[in-house]
Amino acid sequence: MKKNGLVIAIDGPSGAGKSTAARLLAKRLGYIYIDTGAMYRAVGWKAKRERIDPADEKKLEALCARTQVTIKKDNNDPRFFVDGIDVTGEIRTPEMGMMASTVSKSPAVRARLLTLQRDLGKSGGVVMDGRDIGTVVFPDADVKFFLDASAEERGKRRYLELKAMGMDVDCSRITREIEDRDQQDSGRALAPLKKAEDAVLIDSTTLSIDEMLHRMVSSIKKVK
């Protein structure tokens, strides 16, 4: 199959700047941006709505079989739908972040979304971010990045993001939740969060978005 461009994978923990960097990088390259973490949040949203225990593998498998997760492009930002319901705003809470981390342990959920993610990216011309893109989803991606930052900085970023959305949140609590999720994501047996051996590591703790993009574009130019 002829590819329409590169497959670019961006992995890293919550709050490291993956989504922002991936969205802007895709815009600069004229590529499609695919937020895989939001897919897991969408499944977690439905599991919560149906009061399904995210540790119940059989019920999660049945949930996946009857659930349709779709992505629609809205200007430069994707919108996420679960069975036709726009859940884009609802899935961005810390609670849904932890639900995403929990349901991502499920083999049935990962198998269902893995197929969807590979179908979306197989033609190339995509920037895909998540936690296992460079290690599992596209281990042969043309360019791989791993973004990281201190837990304190990531907590501060998430706090400001949620405050801007009008949510009443506590910065120290968000930082603790991020640390808990780091441990959960890195410690799971199935597709744990880790840096691919051939990924370019970028510590974004003290970097601006422009500085991150500059480093990414410089690495991509070496491949093209």
pLDDT digits (tens, 9 = 90+) for 108-126: 999 999 998 998 898 899 9
Angstrom distance (rounded) from CA 78 to CA 96: 17
User: What structural domains does the chain harbor?
Assistant: 7-221 (3.40.50.300)
Mean confidence (pLDDT) of the chain: 91
Is the pLDDT at 224 greater than 80, yes or no? Answer: no
What pLDDT band is residue 75 in, cutting at 50, 70 and 90?
Answer: low
pLDDT confidence of residue 2: 60
The 3-state secondary structure of 137-155 reads: HCCCCCEEEEEECCHHHHH
Q: What is the DSSP letter of 75?
A: T
Angstrom distance (rounded) from CA 109 to CA 112: 5
| Residue where the block lists tokens 């893995």 | 114
| Interval 12-66: pLDDT, tens | 998 899 989 999 999 999 998 988 988 999 999 999 999 999 889 999 999 999 9
Q: Are 133 and 11 in contact (CB under 8 A)?
A: yes
Average pLDDT over residues 201-214: 95
> Which uninterrupted H or E stretch holds 112?
helix 107-121
Average pLDDT over residues 128-133: 92
What pLDDT band is residue 1 in, cutting at 50, 70 and 90?
Answer: low
What pLDDT band is residue 141 in, cutting at 50, 70 and 90?
Answer: very high
Helix (H/G/I), strand (E/B), else coil: 222: coil
Q: Are 151 and 179 in contact (CB under 8 A)?
A: yes
Choose among 83, 81, 79: nearest CA to 65.
83
Residue with the bigger pLDDT between 4 and 75: it is 4
Choose among 218, 223, 192, 219: nearest CA to 13.
192
Residue 83, Ramachandran bin (φ over 0: left; ψ between -120 and 50: alpha; else beta): left
Q: What is the DSSP letter of 164?
A: H
CA atoms within 13 Å, Cβ hemisphere of 163: 10
| Interval 143-183: pLDDT, tens | 999 999 999 999 999 899 888 888 888 999 999 999 998 88
Angstrom distance (rounded) from CA 145 to CA 16: 12
What pLDDT band is residue 98 in, cutting at 50, 70 and 90?
Answer: confident
C-alpha torsion sign, points 211, 213, 216, 218: negative
